[in-house]
């Protein structure tokens, strides 16, 4: 099924209508001559520093989450695991994630930062996105691994929690509380898998969306981590993206979130989670489109092209160069529309935004 998604690149995440014709991204067209070489330089860097087993040096590089993020960067530029200059590096990412799944379905190895569910959710999203693009042997392994991984995400969501935390996820499969950051990755993994034909209950998606909405400040539009305002600059883009991908395109909640991002994004540089916040801002604002993307994209490219090191990397405060480079590439390549989970609904009139 994934192969058909890649052939019909205009398919959108949630629409049940016929695929819409993609509109040209005039903003990106003005920057592409600078962005293309920067992205390729970054991909060369990531391939060059990758270890033979598929893991990476530096922060969290031996967890499954970093190879999964890096694997998605290659996919985001249209590179495939069956051919081309990055096929070997991409397959190493896939093999590392697959080799480190526990019997209960959890993708876990090495130091996963704040908890194994972060790496697990990102790994599940990656395998769902790459499914259908790989050779038959790897496809068989992915087809076995994904149902177990999804089942674990659903079990973790179903752990009994209080009303505020119900529907979300946190550090471990048995956590009785939730946070919006971990929950955002889990929700995207479920959405990707459902788009790809997996049996993901609508109730799981709806409960996750309800959880996120309980963490949005109704007046200001921002999303918090465990409350309404904590880490709001780095998390509001996450809330915006997840609502956009879950059928809330152009809703009052997403408009408020986008408006908040536009008022505050210039303060993001220097924040503790700057690269994380920029990644989600780019993804979310591209989804909502119109004036939001038209203003944010030139700022992002103008600011962060200058921050790329000569070796192709970006060094983030939160988690080092591998993470920073992967997150920046994923933000820069939104207009390429190669990752199916990030396709945008072009049937929506953006003239008034």
Q: What angle do CA 55, 156, 316 make, to 5 degrees?
A: 40
Closest CA to 300 of 329, 320, 321: 329
Q: What residues contact residue 24 under an 8 Å CB cut-off, 6+ apart?
A: none
Burial status of residue 137 (CB atoms within 10 A of its CB: 0-12, 13-18, 19 or more): exposed
> pLDDT above 90 covers what percent of the chain?
79
The two structure tokens encoding residue 55? 């893991």
Q: Are 76 and 336 in contact (CB under 8 A)?
A: yes
Q: Is the pLDDT of residue 352 over 90?
A: no
Q: 149-183 pLDDT, tens per residue?
A: 999 999 999 999 999 999 999 999 999 999 999 99
The two structure tokens encoding residue 234? 């780095």
Domain ranges of the chain: 20-49+215-353
Q: 48-87 pLDDT, tens per residue?
A: 999 999 999 988 889 999 999 999 999 999 999 999 999 9
Q: 26-59 pLDDT, tens per residue?
A: 889 999 999 999 999 999 999 999 999 999 998 8
Instruction: Give the number of C-alpha atoms closer than 13 A to the C-alpha of residue 298, restricted to the C-beta side.
Output: 8
Position 110 scores a pLDDT of 63
This prediction has a pTM of: 0.90
Q: Are 69 and 323 in contact (CB under 8 A)?
A: yes
Q: What residues contact residue 292 under an 8 Å CB cut-off, 6+ apart?
A: 258, 261, 262, 285, 353
Position 339 scores a pLDDT of 86
Q: Is the pLDDT of residue 7 over 80?
A: no
Q: Is the pLDDT of residue 349 over 70?
A: no
């Amino acid at each position: 099924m994934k192969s058909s998604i890649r052939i019909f690149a205009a398919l959108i995440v949630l629409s049940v209508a016929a695929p819409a014709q993609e509109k040209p991204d005039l903003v990106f067209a003005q920057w592409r001559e600078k962005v293309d070489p920067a992205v390729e330089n970054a991909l060369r860097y990531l391939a060059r520093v990758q270890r033979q087993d598929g893991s990476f040096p530096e922060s969290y590089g031996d967890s499954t989450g970093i190879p999964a993020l890096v694997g998605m960067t290659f996919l985001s530029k249209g590179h495939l695991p069956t051919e081309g200059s990055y096929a070997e590096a991409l397959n190493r990412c896939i093999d590392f994630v697959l080799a480190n799944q526990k019997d209960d379905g959890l993708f876990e190895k090495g130091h996963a930062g704040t908890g194994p569910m972060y790496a697990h959710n990102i790994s599940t999203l990656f395998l769902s996105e790459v499914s259908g693009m790989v050779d038959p042997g790897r496809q068989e392994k992915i087809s076995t691994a994904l149902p177990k991984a999804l089942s674990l995400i659903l079990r973790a969501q179903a752990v009994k929690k209080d009303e505020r935390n119900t529907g979300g996820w946190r550090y471990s499969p048995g956590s009785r509380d939730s946070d919006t950051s971990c929950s955002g990755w889990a929700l995207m993994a479920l959405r990707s898998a459902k788009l790809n034909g997996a049996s993901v209950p609508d109730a799981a998606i709806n409960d996750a969306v309800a959880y996120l909405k309980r963490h949005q400040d109704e007046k200001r539009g921002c999303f918090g981590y465990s409350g309404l305002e904590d880490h709001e600059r780095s998390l509001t883009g996450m809330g915006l993206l997840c609502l956009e991908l879950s059928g809330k395109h152009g809703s009052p909640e997403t408009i408020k979130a986008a408006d908040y991002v536009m008022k505050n994004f210039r303060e993001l540089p220097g924040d503790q989670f700057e690269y994380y916040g920029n990644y989600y801002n780019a993804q979310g604002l591209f989804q909502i489109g119109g004036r939001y993307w038209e203003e944010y994209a030139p700022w992002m490219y103008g600011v962060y092209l200058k921050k790329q090191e000569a070796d192709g990397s970006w060094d983030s405060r939160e988690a080092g160069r591998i993470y920073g480079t992967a997150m920046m590439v994923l933000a820069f390549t939104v207009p390429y529309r190669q990752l199916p989970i990030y396709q945008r609904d072009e049937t929506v009139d953006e003239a008034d935004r």
